[in-house]
Amino acid sequence: MGLVCDRFDDLGRDGTPARLGIMGGTFDPIHIGHLACAEQARQAYGLDAVVFIPAGNPVFKKDRAVTPAPMRLEMCRIATRSNPSFDVSPLEIERGGDTYTVDTLRQLRAHYPDNVELRFITGADAVYHIVQWRESAAIADLARLIAVTRPGYVLSEERRAFIAENGNFDIDYLEVTALAISSSDLRQRLAAGKSIRYLTMQGVLDYIQERGLYHTGERDDEGGVR
């Protein structure tokens, strides 16, 4: 395993300019919305690769149970395996402690040469709050942001102005195909015994079913139901 990931650990080492997309998130579980977003951002901005980085201990989700990190990591690997432009990194999981975007970007910036441009992909609604993230000014220095919006959702000029006034961010706004799907919706559907077929990759669905993830019942340490 490379320091960051297997497929793109040496990106830019030959001196060729490159763009690396970074998809962070809990991915509990990963679904087709995540994948479609990453693919459309890759194509729109000429990204050479997109690395999915599952959060180890997401600070904003301490109020609920989160599937064990190794299982979320494996689901991401299963979901992205068929796309040669995608890979998965255990960076945040292996680092331990609370997960902060600025720490991850610093690790990536230290690992890759300066000819590799970092593009952090996130939702447009999250971008509005990014000025409140830990060391937001440092985030602005480390990566250019791709703020993903869905058709019909527009980040108002007032909100864009607020971001501009409270941080020195370089932001590209990308409208992607509308997919009304979320990880929380998938968890709720599974808990209710409903199908999530076609909402995630079949391999991820098989993994979930084999381990009894997200069904009602008390979760044991391995993420199964007891």
pLDDT per residue over 36-60, tens digit each? Answer: 999 999 999 999 999 999 998 877 6
What does the pLDDT average to over 147-163?
76
pLDDT per residue over 58-95, tens digit each? Answer: 776 677 789 999 999 999 999 999 999 999 999 999 99
pLDDT at 61: 67
Q: List, edge to edge, every strand of the sheet that includes 18-25.
A: 86-88, 49-54, 18-25, 116-123, 144-149, 171-175
Average pLDDT of the residues of the chain = 88
Q: What is the pTM for the complete model shown?
A: 0.89
To the question of domain 18-211 being in CATH 3.90.1010.10, the answer is no
Q: Could you tell me if residue 195 is left (phi over 0), alpha (psi between -120 and 50 degrees) or otherwise beta? A: beta
pLDDT per residue over 164-189, tens digit each? Answer: 777 788 899 898 987 888 999 999 99
